[in-house]
């Protein structure tokens, strides 16, 4: 009889604690992996931008501002650290790139340039990859955060100092705001 009580009182909670701890650990590892996935794609984007600027430079002599903005945004993004800062810098970079391509639309020669076509395709692809990688990262973040905040798990999380992860969010207000309607 005493043995059964012992099992119920001691062994089962210990077992539960071990399982929960292991689960949290593996979630955290997955999260780290997902973050690394974002990093790879961001790096790919940084590598493409100098080529892009080089190709566009010859044509866009009167639009130096746009190009300088892109270069500035890139160096900001490279030096950013932490999820929030990185997200902010990336959003700025995305915006400057968008305005660059809007300018390119006005230069048919540049638009039809073979190099430019390839670069445009590569950049589009990279943008997509960044956003997919971000989605994936956010999926895991949500999973980890839920696991940490749930009631019995919370004890283990507090005990072993598991912290909530930050979402990689789009901070840009214009993306969130609904488009204005004018008549």
Partner 1 sequence: MALTYVEIEQEKSYRIFLLFAILIVFYFLTALILGYILKFFITFRIALSHPGLSIRFALTPIQILFIFFVSLVAAIIHLRFSLNRLLGKFILRLGAKPLDRKDRYHQRLRNIVEEASVAIGSRYQIRGMVLPTLAMNAFALADFDNNAIIGVTEGLISRLNRSQLEAVVAHETAHIAQGDCLQNTITCSLFGVYALILSKIRNQLESRGRRYYGRAGAQVMALAVVTYLTLSILQGMARFIKLTISRQREYRADATAVRINRNPLGLAEALYEISRNWRGSGDIGDGLESLFIMNPRANELDESEGLWADLFSTHPPISKRIKILLAMAHSEIRVLEEKRKAKKRLKKARRAPKKVSLGRGSWYAHDKEGNWKGPYTLPQLVALSWFRPSSWVYQKGKGKAERAFRNPSLSKMLAKRIRGRTTGNLRCPRCNQCLLEKEYEGTTVYRCMFCGGKFLENDKVARILLREERVFLERILKLAKEMVGKNVKRYTIKRWKKLPKEFPQLKCPSCLKEMRRTFYSLAYPIEVDRCYGCQATWFDKDELAILQCAIENNLAGKKIA
Contact residues: partner 1, CB under 8 A: 34, 37, 41, 114, 117-118, 121-122, 124-125, 128-129, 132-133, 135-136, 139-140, 143
Q: Tell me, rounded to whole angstroms, the distance of Cα 22 from its chain centroid.
A: 26
Comparison of 117 and 159: residue with beta carbon closer to partner 1:
117
Comparison of 129 and 154: residue with beta carbon closer to partner 1:
129
Comparison of 5 and 179: residue with beta carbon closer to partner 1:
179
Comparison of 26 and 158: residue with beta carbon closer to partner 1:
26
In whole angstroms, how far apart are CA 106 and each of 52, 55, 59, 118? 16, 15, 11, 18
As measured in angstroms, the least distance from the Cβ of 168 to partner 1 is: 14
Among residues 137, 122, 121, the alpha carbon closest in space to that of 47 is found at 122
As measured in angstroms, the least distance from the Cβ of 86 to partner 1 is: 17
As measured in angstroms, the least distance from the Cβ of 128 to partner 1 is: 4
As measured in angstroms, the least distance from the Cβ of 1 to partner 1 is: 40
Q: Which ranges of 60-150 does DSSP label H, i.e. alpha helix?
A: 64-79, 83-104, 108-112, 114-149
Site of tokens 């997509």 = 128
Answer yes or no: are the C-beta atoms of 132 and 44 closer than 8 Å: no
Distance in angstroms (rounded) separating the CA atoms of residues 137 and 144? 11
């Amino acid at each position: 009889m005493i043995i059964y009580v012992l099992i119920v009182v001691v062994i089962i909670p210990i077992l539960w604690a071990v399982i929960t701890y292991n689960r949290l650990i593996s979630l955290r590892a997955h999260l780290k992996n997902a973050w690394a996935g974002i990093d790879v794609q961001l790096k790919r984007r940084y590598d493409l931008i100098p080529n892009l600027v080089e190709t566009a430079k010859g044509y866009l002599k009167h639009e130096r501002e746009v190009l300088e903005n892109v270069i500035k945004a890139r160096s900001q993004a490279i030096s950013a650290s932490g999820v929030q800062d990185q997200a902010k810098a990336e959003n700025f970079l995305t915006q400057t790139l968008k305005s660059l391509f809007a300018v390119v639309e006005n230069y048919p020669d540049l638009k039809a340039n073979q190099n430019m076509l390839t670069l445009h395709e590569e950049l589009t692809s990279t943008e997509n990859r960044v956003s997919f990688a971000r989605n994936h990262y956010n999926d895991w973040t949500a999973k980890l955060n839920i696991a940490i905040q749930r009631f019995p798990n919370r004890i283990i999380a507090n005990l072993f100092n598991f912290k909530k992860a930050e979402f990689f969010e789009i901070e840009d207000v214009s993306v969130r705001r609904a488009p204005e309607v004018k008549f």
